[in-house]
Structure 1
Amino acid sequence: MGQDPITLIISLVGGIFSFLLVMRFALQLSQTDYYNPIAQSVVRLTQPVVSPLQRVLRPKGRFDIATLIVAIAVKAVAILLLVQFSPLFAANADSINPLHLMIFALTGTLDTLLTIYFWASLGAVIISWVAPDSYHPAPQLLLQLTEPLFALVRKVIPPIGGLDLSPILIFLLIQIVQGYLKAFVII
């Protein structure tokens, strides 16, 4: 509630831009339709920052390492700026361990990716009940983003009587991994 405006702005801008970069990575990983207007917006917003590194590190199939590296770097810069401008850490701001900074940035990026897949999976489940044949770009994007993950889990747990249980396993696995990530960062 009584947060410093500078740290609030750094946290907000860093979080939103990091989210967009991780979303772009997830969209490329899932091979969503590039012509979807939402996907095009995400690509347009992140392209100026990602394209210089993509010239050096070309995407390998669905895996775009350049976008992932930029997302981790943005998260690291946001954490570094938060530590520099936060009154709580002002005394220790000069003694930031680069290894700890990279670990926090990497776990934060992975947590963002898991959060995207959690909410996208929840949205896909709700859409499958409410409007399964919707042609709106948002439901189409959610379904295309989550379908590769659902298909992978369906190999382990096939649908039972027309009921797809793959989202339940995905929710459970995401919660377990996020719990371990949070415990790892605290230690």
Structure 2
Amino acid sequence: MSILILLIDTVGGLFVMAILLRFLLQLVKADFYNPISQAIVKITSPLLNPLRRIIPGVGGYDIASLVLAFIVQAIFVLLKLKALGYMAFPPGTVISLSLYFLVKALLDLYTFALIIMVIASWVAPNSYNPGLMLLHQLTEPLCSRVRRVVPPIGGLDFSVMVVMLAIVIIKGALPSLIPGM
């Protein structure tokens, strides 16, 4: 039973992260010729392209990606509840859990990206690795906004620490922000 739940969490989490990453990469206008971007497009396109015919983008935002991420997350929440032995699935609970896990996945994605960027800045500064370039394109919009308020002091950039602190605070408050949690 626990292996099934682990499998559901792993597969569901990775696929939802891929969909969210595709949305975020479009949002920050990342390089789509990057091999990692191309892989994400290939993984998500079979489900996303048909949904785009129904749900158009709004104001340059790919709403279909967010809807797909929510639908996939809801399916995996239902599978997990079924694997745990629950027979009744109240729609409000499924929606709340799906929203919670979706926002948590988004925050986890940024947490991992920031940690990798910090470690890479120590180990391989100015590296042109495609993965690091993509993570830089993903995290820089957040960090640059923080840098406007908290400029580097003595050559030390505290923007990553401020963003990480904000993520920790949001994660702590997340259960109270989502209705029904």
Report whether the alignment pairs 1:121 with 2:114: yes
Q: Which runs of 5+ in 2 are unaligned?
A: none
Question: 4+ residue runs of structure 1 moved beyond 4 angstroms?
Answer: 183-187
Question: Match of 1:162?
Answer: 155
RMSD: 1.9
The residue number in structure 1 matching 2:65 is 67
Aligned to 1:155, the other structure's residue is in SS state helix
Cα pair distance change 1:136/1:84, threshold 3 Å = same
Distance 1:25-1:162 versus aligned 2 partners, 3 A rule: same
Q: Does 1:6 align with 2:13?
A: no
In structure 2, what is the Cα distance between the partners aligned to 1:64 and 1:100?
A: 26
Q: Tell me which residue corresponds to 1:36.
A: 34
Which residue of structure 1 aligns with residue 78 of structure 2? 80
Q: Does 1:97 align with 2:90?
A: yes
1:140 Cα offset (Å): 0.8
* Contact 2:13-2:105 at 8 Å conserved across structures: no
Structure 1 runs not aligned, ≥5 long: none
- Work out whether residues 53 and 66 of structure 1, in 8 Å CA contact, stay in contact via their aligned partners in 2: yes
- Identical columns (%): 41
Q: How many equivalent pairs are there?
A: 180
Alignment check: 8 A CA contact 1:31 1:62 kept: no
Separation of aligned partners in 1, 2:136 and 2:77 = 32
The normalised TM-score by structure 2 is: 0.90
Describe the superposition over 1:56-92 as per-residue Cα deviations: whole angstroms up to 9, x where unpaired: 33334552211111111111111111112323x2xxx
Do the aligned residues in 2 keep the contact of 1:26 with 1:113 (CA within 8 Å)? no
2:46 — aligned with what?
48
